[in-house]
Chains A and B, each alone.
Chain A
Amino acid sequence: MSTITTIKDKAQELGAATQDALQPVRAAALAAFNQLGVPAVKHEEWKYTRISQLFNQSYQLGVDLSNTDATWQTFRLPEYETANELVFINGVYNPAVSTVRSAGLVVLPLEEAAKGEYAQVVSKHLGHSGKYMKDGINALNASFLVGAVFIGVNRSTEIEHPVYIYNITDGRAGNVFAQPRTLVHVAANAGVVMVETYGSIGVADHFTNQVMEVVVEQDARVEYYKVQNDSNRSSLVSTTHFRQVGKSYVHAVTISLNGAMVRNNLNMVMEAEHCDSNMFGLYFTSGSCHVDNHTIVDNAKPHCLSNEYYKGILDGSSTGVFNGKIFVQQDAQKINAFQSNKNILLSDTANVYTKPQLEIFADDVKCSHGCTVGRLDEEGLFYLRSRGVTEASAKSLLLHAFAIDILDQIRHDALRTYVDQLISERLGT
């Protein structure tokens, strides 16, 4: 039986066994997945990221949490002692090892949130990303929808400590396929910092297909960081879908340092006037690592500002993909949308595919885009070496200098230091 058939059967079985408030969403998603299937190479959005090859092997799908031990703790982020820590093991939220500390932060199993106080929020926003991600992989996540989490940030609350989300896969019993799912609701005038990271336990093939949907209400502020430094046998599709439903501020930084095949979908849907959003990214890859950043900025209303800046350093036989879509709808006059992607190739066998894609239907807007692909600056290298700096140190100084304007966008100090450390280790300094 093919892996995809097994997955479909499992989803079917799950649906039959779980008659809860989320079942209609699962059923619809499964129907969509049946129709769409796994994106193939001919699918424009997946041209360079051959996700279908990840379905050529079998995975464990049943989730056994009984083997959860303390191993996940090796992936903890700095200052975790005071942070809120949400742990997903093999795609399922594990409350036993998770900690919610901050006042005003609500964490509930999604199926519970779907029938209580947050029922309306859930029914209104869950699955919204499907409108933007018209491919089977997003539907596949929703067709499981088990062990999913609802995160609520109460009105007018500034969550004091960051929310760390650990997406852990435990492959000690064999290859693992995990599908974490989160719905976040940041109420009016609230503020929160969220950090997602990924970790693999055991030597097996790990495949995570993650979806997070974030709803940002009027005057709310969200800082969102993704730090990816997983193993060479861990693949990831990570979709983060922001919906700015009121005038609000989102600041997102995606750092990708390792993994087998990594695909990030970051969507910023600006549905209110005067929304402000930043999307920054750094990918620093080597070996055969493949990192693909697909972003969408959808301007539906006037007077919004989006600022997007991704930088890549590619070594070895690694591959980088950047695709930045900006939609400016007819009503979205007076918006500003900036986009830039810069890449440095360190080897002859590294590749980068970069593509800005702007679709503008309004006539009074300011949009810019640009991309560069180059080598390390020889002139700069000679300048540093002429001051006594060895070639290796000069290279790492130049690469660090290249990365710094993205690193500086990490406003959470402990996290920035942590990422900087990872990069310095990679640079050998």
Chain B
Amino acid sequence: MLQIKDLHAGIEGKEILKGINLTIRPGEVHAIMGPNGSGKSTLASVLAGRSDYEVTGGSVDFLGKDLLELAPEARAGEGLFLAFQYPVEIPGLSTINFMKTAVNEVRKYRGQEVLDAAEFLKLMKEKMSLVNIDKNLLTRSLNEGFSGGEKKRNEVFQMAMLEPRLAILDETDSGLDIDAIRIAAAGVNAIRSKENATLVITHYQRLLDYIVPDFVHVLYNGRIVKSGGKELALELEETGYSFLKNEMNIA
């Protein structure tokens, strides 16, 4: 589904990703862990198409398409979704109106019929109960004045609405207490399927208690330095990243 080969990228001339290789197949859950500054969020941003970042080498194939050639909206159309670490506040635009536009533009991209008001409402109600989000939140200005937990739940709701093939969760647990993490994770789990894949980017292991990964990768200094099963996350939790740094230096 996603094939990243020797990806190099940076910002303002500074190289941050120094050759990433990663393959994700349908149905899999991958976690990328790593200390601050290792390039986790850069990887998420490059995959979603944020223009501040410059790709200097390598390739990304997503469902047979050259992902790096696509505009951000086309990536979403193809089935990529990025749950933001810091969802943007947009006063004056409600989540409902935003989603009405987004769902229909994505449907158009995918060659599906656009939804009329009644069909949209039906879809929205279904997804609302799936991710357990309150309607009041969705009629308010997008993310404006939302708590950290509400913002992340709103991201999960948007994800449910857009039915992506690959969901990237960028530090979805950051700034959340354990209850909020549990709720967000339950939402993510509710929309997982055999056809879809999830890439969880996190600093801490605790989110992985709720979204259990098939593979764990450790990102350090712009490279994936270690990959393993879910037990790797537990190992990191015990030893911390310093252990890895030492290992790297010895190697």
Interface, chain A (partner B; CB < 8 A): 377, 379-380, 382-391, 393-394, 397-398, 400-405
**B50, B75, B101, B109 pick with most chain A CB within 10 angstroms:** B101
The yes or no answer to B49 lying at the interface (CB within 8 A) is yes
Within the assembled complex, what's the spacing in Å between the Cα atoms of A405 and B76?
Answer: 30
- Contact call A385/B101, Cβ cutoff below 8 A: no
- Contact call A380/B90, Cβ cutoff below 8 A: yes
- Contact call B101/A386, Cβ cutoff below 8 A: no
- Contact call A389/B88, Cβ cutoff below 8 A: no
- Contact call A389/B101, Cβ cutoff below 8 A: yes
**A124, chain B: closest CB distance, angstroms:** 43
Within the assembled complex, what's the spacing in Å between the Cα atoms of A402 and B142?
Answer: 13
- Contact call A388/B105, Cβ cutoff below 8 A: yes
The yes or no answer to B146 lying at the interface (CB within 8 A) is no
Known: A388-B77, A390-B73. A382 touches B50 (CB 8 A): yes
- Contact call B90/A385, Cβ cutoff below 8 A: no
Task: Please report whether the interface of chain A is mostly helix, strand, loop or mixed according to DSSP.
Answer: helix
- Contact call A400/B105, Cβ cutoff below 8 A: no
The yes or no answer to B7 lying at the interface (CB within 8 A) is no
**B172, chain A: closest CB distance, angstroms:** 15
A387's contact among B50, B91, B102, B141, by CB below 8 Å, is which? Answer: B102
The yes or no answer to B42 lying at the interface (CB within 8 A) is no
Within the assembled complex, what's the spacing in Å between the Cα atoms of A384 and B38?
Answer: 27
- CB within 8 Å of A: which B133-167 residues: 141, 158, 162
Within the assembled complex, what's the spacing in Å between the Cα atoms of A387 and B98?
Answer: 9
Within the assembled complex, what's the spacing in Å between the Cα atoms of A402 and B103?
Answer: 22
- Contact call B92/A401, Cβ cutoff below 8 A: yes
B90's contact among A383, A390, A403, by CB below 8 Å, is which? Answer: A383
B109's contact among A379, A388, A391, by CB below 8 Å, is which? Answer: A388
- Contact call A389/B93, Cβ cutoff below 8 A: no
- Contact call A389/B87, Cβ cutoff below 8 A: no
B84's contact among A377, A383, A393, by CB below 8 Å, is which? Answer: A383
- Contact call B92/A380, Cβ cutoff below 8 A: no
Within the assembled complex, what's the spacing in Å between the Cα atoms of A403 and B158?
Answer: 24
**A383, A397, A403, A405 pick with most chain B CB within 10 angstroms:** A383
Q: List 7 A-B contacts (CB under 8 A).
A: A385-B72, A386-B82, A389-B102, A398-B90, A401-B93, A402-B92, A405-B91
Interface digits, B114-148 against A, CB 8 Å rule (1 contact, 0 not)?
00000000000000000000000000010000000
**B50, chain A: closest CB distance, angstroms:** 6
The yes or no answer to B106 lying at the interface (CB within 8 A) is yes
Within the assembled complex, what's the spacing in Å between the Cα atoms of A44 and B84?
Answer: 49
**A23, chain B: closest CB distance, angstroms:** 52
Known: A382-B50, A386-B82, A390-B105. A405 touches B158 (CB 8 A): no
